[in-house]
Amino acid sequence: MEALKYKPLGTDWQNDPGIECCTKDPGDTPPGCDCCYDDWKGELKKVTMDYNQITEQSIQLTNHLKFTTDERDKLKSWVDDLVKTDQLAKTLCDLFKVMVSQTEKICINSEKSVTSIEILFCMIRDLYEQIDVILTTWNQIDNCIKCLDSEDLPPDSGIRKCLKNYMDKLDIVIKTRADLIKAVMAAIRQALGLHEGICSDYGLHQVVLEWKTILNCDEKCGSGSTQPADPCKDPDPKLDEKLNKCKLSPILTLPICNDAYYSWVKGQYDADVAEANTLADQLVEVNKKKESLSACKTSLETAIKEVDPKDLCK
């Protein structure tokens, strides 16, 4: 504001434009003795109006920023939960992949084991069939010797003693038949049960493969459709048919990183982060203007108080 210098009034002082400063009625306040008083009052009124306006703008920006940051924080929490769930699903998929690999090996080994035990059973059966043939031959020889009833072949001596010892050993082998065949049959039953329980169409291997398929374990992030879908504006037209009476929405699909709803939530969160940063910057600038106008308002109020005509023009 320019400082005014004292100038002697001439004869045409009433025609001077500056006279308006002292003659203009400022309203309910009488004209002051200082010509700048009324100008300062006008400036104060304008500054006060600007200050009130900028204060209201600051309040609105503060409220808007608070709402946006609250929404951002809630979305951040939801995004973190979705990411955590996605990581847990991926961990589960990794375990399923290990299980599939192990069950495949078990299926191969159990199948070979069943085949091996069946071969062993055939070998044992053939062994005892050969023993039966030997036993038949032994009986034929023994019956022949008894029919001859020769003094040259006394009991418990010579060839008859050898035949008796051979029969004793053969009888020991024959007595093992029942227990050995029972053990082999039990082994076959267990091997077949293991193979059926893991490798059949409804076995553990197929169950794990089914879960691996349900969780889309082979799908990589970014390979699916990630087009954001607003669940409030873009409902699934088949949702009612899928959910029937229990209408839950949204229904997440795995992997979550490729789910349209996750993309929408992540997009909303990113938008709120950007908006919160912009509002914070705007609020800083508005508060700077507010502080500047406050200082100007205070200075004008102090100056007006100093030249108040109520005190100076007494």
pLDDT in tens, 229-264: 555 555 555 555 554 555 667 788 888 988 888 999
Residue 99 confidence class, pLDDT cut points 50, 70, 90: very high
For residue 299, which amino acid is it?
A: S
**Please, is 260 exposed, middle or buried when counting C-beta atoms within 10 Å of its C-beta (0-12, 13-18, 19+)?**
buried
What's residue 46's pLDDT?
A: 87
Which of 115, 133, 124, 123 has the alpha carbon at shortest distance from 180? Answer: 124
State the Cα–Cα distance between residues 261 and 266, nearest whole angstrom: 9
Instruction: Tell whether the model's pLDDT for residue 58 goes beyond 70.
Output: yes
Residues 70-98, mean pLDDT to the nearest whole number: 94
- pLDDT tier for residue 3 given thresholds of 50, 70 and 90: very low
For the chain, the distance separating the N- and C-terminal CA atoms, rounded to the nearest angstrom, is: 26
- Which amino acid belongs to residue 314? K
Task: Decide: pTM greater than 0.75.
Answer: no
**CATH number assigned to the domain with residue range 43-236+244-302, chosen from the 4 options 1.10.287, 2.40.128, 2.60.40, 2.60.120:** 1.10.287
The mean of the pLDDT values for the chain is: 81
Report the 10 Å Cβ neighbour count for 290: 18
Kindly state the helix (H) or strand (E) to which residue 210 belongs, with its residue range: helix 204-214
Region 283-302: mean pLDDT is 88
Percent pLDDT > 70 in the chain is 78
> What's the chain's length in residues?
314
Give every CB contact of residue 231 below 8 A, 6+ residues apart in sequence: 249, 250, 261, 264
State yes or no: pLDDT of 144 exceeds 80: yes
Helix (H) or strand (E) holding 207: helix 204-214
Q: What are phi and psi of 218, to 5 degrees?
A: -85, -5
- pLDDT > 90 fraction of the chain, expressed in percent and rounded: 35
Q: 258 or 9: which carries more pLDDT confidence?
A: 258
Domain boundaries, the chain: 43-236+244-302
| pLDDT tens digits, one per residue of 197-240 | 999 888 999 999 999 998 888 888 887 655 555 555 555 555 55
DSSP 235: -
Cα gap 196→190, rounded to integer Å? 10
Nearest to 304 by CA among 312, 119, 19: 312
147 exposed, middle or buried (CB, 10 Å; 0-12, 13-18, 19+)?
Answer: exposed
pLDDT digits (tens, 9 = 90+) for 29-41: 555 455 576 677 7
The count of other CB atoms within 10 Å of the CB of residue 74 is 12
* The pLDDT of residue 162: 86
Does residue 135 surpass a pLDDT of 80?
Answer: yes
d(Cα 118, Cα 139) in Å, to the nearest integer?
Answer: 31
